Amino acid sequence: MQGRSVWGSKVGFLLAAVGSAVGLGNVWRFSYVSYQNGGGAFLVPYLVAMLTAGIPLMILEYGLGHREKASPPLAFARVHHLWEPFGWWMPIVAFFGINLFYAVVIGWCFNYFLLALNLGWGAETGVFFEEHFLQVSSGPFEFVGIRWPIFAGALLTWVLCWLICFKEIRHGIEKASLLFMPVLLVMTIILVAWSLQLEGATDAVWNHYLRFEWSKISLLTAEGRSVWIAAYGQIFFTLSLGFGIMITYASYLPKKSDITSNAIITCLIDCSYSIFAGLAVFGTIGYMAQTKGVAFEEAITAGPGLAFVVYPEAINQLPAGNRLFGALFFLVLIIAGISSAISLTEAFTCSVCDKFKFERKKTVSVLCVLGMAGSIIFTTHAGLYILDIVDHFVNAYALILGGILECILVGWLMKAPKMRKHIFAVSGRKVWPLWDIAICFITPVMLMLILLGALYREFGEAYGGYPVGALLLFGGGTLVLSRFGAFILSHVPWPYQKRTHAHTPEEETLLT
């Protein structure tokens, strides 16, 4: 049996992990969430959430993957054989629940990169995005047909994922990350520097992005408590936790690895990038608002509309170099998106190879073909509706539940002190016992509050005003089918003894 691949360097691993965490949401989600929840004051609950949930859960996923040298299904099964279905659920949801539409959104970015070269979106960017580019139908059941430019963009995304994941981890994902991440950083620095010198940019950053509304984060008010929950939710989503990705990536670490430092560095880089990228977003939109003579509140919007409607409109207003600026912005989105898409692909690929010992190249090829086939529905005229529904259900329920299950598995079944001892054994660096409290209580409680809040809103009113049938079919159906797939795969017999990992005598001494 061929030995497990190993990262070529610590830097390669860190850049791959950061590449997974830094995605499209870092550019358009964090800055808007911060703006809505107290501006600069939001950084307080955000940093607290990173310390009490983000870093502890990252240490958990790194530790579990490294200890078992396995993808989530195998790692979960080794801790407790009845938990294998939950281990399958995470990479299945990541691949079939997220990557199918994520590839299509990256396809939008490819199209907009080309459009930026001649400002092909025109003056009415909102009308162009919905009526001309997406050609949105009247509802989620009105598929009409395929939008071929979007299909081509999604196909290009899947081809790139295939090319990168096709090779062994050191020669594929690691090399791509060593190229993508420095380029992404340089381009983001250029965007921020360019944006901040625009007229009205500094005012927008200080008065709307980094303003300190302390009253909004008070735990004494319902609004303040909701901001804290939003901060925990943002940390969870931005760090790629609950996908099974970090467990998979950590399984390729060498025997001696500094788990704690790697986790802290990954979290700090990802969160810092989110804050930094927000400067470019707010600076550019601030310039547009001043140029058009409208209030900043009227200019900014949430979600994909920020990148594909508001930002192109802001690019139109730039005094010079708008074509280059626009191309640079969408190239940043493409690189951030691709680095995340390959990690979503790798998590499921590794899981399948671990279970069935299939050859990696054939597995990646088959999965990418299946992925492209599954993405087609999101390239139809109803694709925007279906994307929104699936994204809501996966993020609000599947990933949150995955995080809770991880905490139960390691914190209560394996026992948190046992994992701490493993981390010390392989790195020589102790994890404070406070980590046990975070994993056993703080993190699962906060995730449970987020989950209950989502359920409360779900039963209060239909999400997005969509027909209940559409929510059940596309949203609920994704969760049910992924759970069914996890059940089926977990009940396929292992072709070999799954308890293959043996600890060193030194580790066994510390772990007993």
* pLDDT cut 70: percent of the chain above it: 96
Q: What is the largest CA-CA distance in the chain?
A: 70
Token pair 């529905």: residue:
377
Do 11 and 178 form a contact (C-beta atoms < 8 A)?
yes
**CB within 8 Å of 491: residues ≥ 6 apart:** none
More confident residue, 512 or 498: 498
How many Cβ atoms sit within 10 Å of the Cβ of residue 449? Answer: 16
pLDDT band at 27 (very low <50, low <70, confident <90, very high): confident
**CB within 8 Å of 353: residues ≥ 6 apart:** 71, 359, 360, 363
Residue 299 has pLDDT above 80, yes or no: yes
Read off the tokens for 99: 């990557």
How many Cβ atoms sit within 10 Å of the Cβ of residue 327? Answer: 17
With 0-12 CB in 10 A as exposed, 13-18 as middle and 19+ as buried, what is 185? middle
**Mind listing the pLDDT tens digit for each residue in 247-258?**
999 999 999 999
With 0-12 CB in 10 A as exposed, 13-18 as middle and 19+ as buried, what is 362? exposed
**Mind listing the pLDDT tens digit for each residue in 47-95?**
999 999 999 999 999 999 999 999 999 999 999 999 999 999 999 999 9
Q: What does the alpha-carbon distance between residue 183 and residue 303 come to, in Å, rounded to a whole number?
A: 25
**Mind listing the pLDDT tens digit for each residue in 419-452?**
999 999 999 888 999 999 999 999 999 999 999 9
Do 383 and 104 form a contact (C-beta atoms < 8 A)?
yes
Specify the pLDDT at position 318. 92
Residue 166 has pLDDT above 50, yes or no: yes
Do 381 and 143 form a contact (C-beta atoms < 8 A)?
yes
Integer distance in angstroms from the first to the last C-alpha of the chain? Answer: 29
β-pair partners for 476: none
**Mind listing the pLDDT tens digit for each residue in 314-325?**
999 998 899 999
Q: What does the alpha-carbon distance between residue 120 and residue 323 come to, in Å, rounded to a whole number?
A: 10
What is the DSSP secondary structure assignment for residue 146, as one 8-state letter?
B
Write down the H helix ranges in 357-442: 360-375, 383-393, 399-408, 416-427, 434-437
Average pLDDT, the chain: 92
Residue 365 has pLDDT above 50, yes or no: yes
Read off the tokens for 495: 């072709």
**Mind listing the pLDDT tens digit for each residue in 223-275?**
898 899 889 989 988 999 999 999 999 999 999 999 999 999 999 999 999 99
Specify the pLDDT at position 304. 83
The dihedral sign for the CA sequence 288, 289, 292, 293: negative
Do 451 and 400 form a contact (C-beta atoms < 8 A)?
yes
3-state class (DSSP) for residue 483 = helix
Pick from 360, 290, 263, 273: which is nearest to 61 by CA? 263
Write down the H helix ranges in 117-172: 125-127, 148-166
**CB within 8 Å of 388: residues ≥ 6 apart:** 464
Residue 478 has pLDDT above 90, yes or no: yes
Q: What does the pLDDT average to over 8-12?
A: 95
β-pair partners for 432: none
Do 280 and 96 form a contact (C-beta atoms < 8 A)?
no
Q: What does the alpha-carbon distance between residue 162 and residue 366 come to, in Å, rounded to a whole number?
A: 10
With 0-12 CB in 10 A as exposed, 13-18 as middle and 19+ as buried, what is 225? middle
What is the DSSP secondary structure assignment for residue 42, as one 8-state letter?
G
Predicted TM-score (pTM) of the model is: 0.94
How many residues does this entry show for the chain?
512
Do 390 and 101 form a contact (C-beta atoms < 8 A)?
yes
Specify the pLDDT at position 505. 43
